[in-house]
Amino acid sequence: MKSILNFFILLLIISCKSEPKDESKTSKTEQKTETQKEIPVEITPIEHATFVMEWADEVVYVDPNGGVDAFKDLPKPSLVLITDIHGDHFNLETLKGLSQSFDMVAPQAVYDKMPKELQNKTKILANGKSFDFHGFNLKGVPMYNITEARLKYHEKGRGNGYVVSKDNYKVYISGDTEAIPEMKSLTDIDLAFMCMNLPYTMPPEMAAEAVLSFKPKKVLPYHYRGMKDGKPHFFSVEKFKEMVQSQNDEIEVSLLDWYPKKSS
């Protein structure tokens, strides 16, 4: 009887040792924890290129446009970022109407078009340069056209995209650009704002190609109203989302309402 009992104990030990570990479950759980990083930024889209980021104790307005009434229900800005000289990014009427307790960051070309009172509150940031300001690290990223037919819209060195970093969280704001090498070489971006409108920037296909190159964790397509056949046209962010997530489902693409007045 004792020998039979020992035999069953031995079988039990062998069975426990040889049972395979479910590696796929462990790795998927770990991967989910790694990629679903808590988003510390609250985003409020205003329209087209204009949005508000509430981040820690800072309120950042990006390319404020649309008049002060567009911001009446939002907290006052502590920092304003301007990307380019074009009217959908740099709007003096809106800037002058805002509470003037903010500081501003802009490229040289925008600074040169400002009245003195706005220049006095503006720090100039050039492509490829960075500095710490309002608790963020701000880096100027080039934004320009590379397709021959579109070179006239945005020349290299004039405008800024931005990488805004705080506590190891990085936000990329594309500004008006195509899928340039400087964008494709970005690393460790947690949240990316991607433009896509012709003829001024790039089509959704090119934007998707860029995103699949630098692999941000989350993407918000914006700035997607352009022109087609001489008429205003809204480019398909749904198509962009499908192209990205069919190739890499670890990149989250979220669609916000950037055109509340859109009638069609």
CATH for 163: 3.60.15.10
Q: Residue 93 is part of which domain span? A: 39-253
Question: Residue 263 — pLDDT band, cuts 50, 70, 90?
Answer: very low
* Contacts of residue 238, Cβ cutoff 8 Å, sequence gap at least 6: 255
Bigger pLDDT: 11 vs 150: 150
CA–CA distance, 129 with 111 (Å, rounded to integer): 16
Q: Where are the alpha helices (DSSP H) in the chain?
A: 2-18, 23-35, 92-97, 108-111, 116-119, 181-184, 204-214, 237-247
- Burial (CB < 10 A; 0-12, 13-18, 19+), residue 10, is exposed
pTM for this model (two decimals): 0.85
169-224 confidence digits (pLDDT tens): 999 999 999 999 999 999 999 999 999 999 999 999 999 999 999 999 999 999 99
The reply to whether 144 falls in a domain is: yes
CA–CA distance, 117 with 52 (Å, rounded to integer): 23
The reply to whether 161 falls in a domain is: yes
- Count of domains forming the chain: 1
20-48 confidence digits (pLDDT tens): 333 333 322 233 333 345 789 999 999 99
Query: Which of helix, strand or coil describes residue 206?
Result: helix
The reply to whether 218 falls in a domain is: yes
